[in-house]
């Protein structure tokens, strides 16, 4: 199998660049040639995932499948999707894929279990909350999930779309306040379950960063691990 990793991105563009940076930063490399081979499909015109789930707008599935096939035809041996809400369509994508697709919530839940975390909050889009896949993946490890009350969730969404619109600092401050509010609910950690959130909080230098669980970073780490396993398999 090819060791090339395909990135089905563009949802949004800043989040895709942040994801690639996190792969690079977690790769044990001393020279260019040690870094992971990546093929990036960043197409922001993929229909809005949350609008589809909540407002019955155009489904992104066809566009996601087109991107998936582009990556596979380009030689990708594994796929990562740096968009949480897009994982609502993980199953139909996985059925059509001839290569493995990493699951952002699954790798995040596995990491939390290894760190012996028992309760988490979740900051994510309305679409991700409705999809429910974080709750299902966390339940496999017996981890309790708390989601924001309605008034807090409205602020989360406002912060996310401020970041997407380019108002990164304003959105980051709002999201940092949302994270503080989630921690006040008594959870041990807070999953940053929208790829814009960790990017925004990193730019702000949030005081709560050490209690956040960067799902994007967890997915990037899974890419590095997959690539290392492929190298070992070839060497054997």
Catalytic residue IDs: 83, 194
Distance of alpha carbon 219 from alpha carbon 221, whole angstroms: 5
Q: What's the gap between Cα 210 and its chain centre?
A: 18
Please name the residue ranges forming H helices in the chain.
13-26, 49-55, 61-73, 90-96, 104-114, 126-131, 133-139, 150-164, 168-183, 196-204, 215-235
d(CA 159, CA 175): 6
Contact 234, 33 (CB under 8 A): no
Whether the CB-CB separation of 230 and 77 falls below 8 Å is answered with: yes
Q: Are 57 and 89 in contact (CB under 8 A)?
A: no
The rounded distance, in Å, linking the Cα atoms of 200 and 206 is: 9
């Amino acid at each position: 199998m090819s060791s090339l990793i395909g990135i089905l991105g563009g949802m949004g563009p800043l989040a895709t660049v942040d994801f690639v940076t996190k792969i690079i930063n977690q790769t044990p490399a001393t020279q260019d040639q040690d870094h992971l081979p990546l093929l990036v499909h960043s197409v922001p015109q993929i229909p809005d995932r949350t609008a589809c789930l909540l407002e019955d707008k155009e489904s992104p599935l066809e566009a996601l499948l087109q991107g998936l096939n582009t990556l596979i035809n380009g030689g990708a041996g594994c796929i990562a999707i740096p968009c949480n809400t897009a994982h609502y369509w993980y199953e139909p994508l996985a059925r059509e894929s001839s290569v493995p697709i990493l699951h952002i919530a699954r790798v995040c839940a596995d990491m939390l279990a290894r760190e012996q975390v028992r309760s988490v909050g979740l900051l994510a889009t309305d679409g991700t909350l409705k999809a429910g896949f974080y709750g299902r993946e966390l339940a496999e490890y017996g981890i309790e999930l708390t989601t924001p009350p309605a008034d807090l969730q409205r602020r989360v969404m406002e912060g996310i779309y401020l970041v997407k619109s380019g108002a990164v600092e304003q959105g980051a401050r709002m999201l940092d306040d949302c994270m503080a509010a989630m921690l006040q609910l008594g959870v041990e950690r807070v999953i940053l379950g929208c790829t814009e959130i960790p990017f925004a909080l990193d730019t702000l230098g949030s005081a709560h960063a050490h209690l956040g669980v960067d799902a994007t970073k967890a997915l990037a780490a899974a890419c590095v691990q997959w690539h290392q396993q492929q190298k070992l398999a070839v060497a054997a």
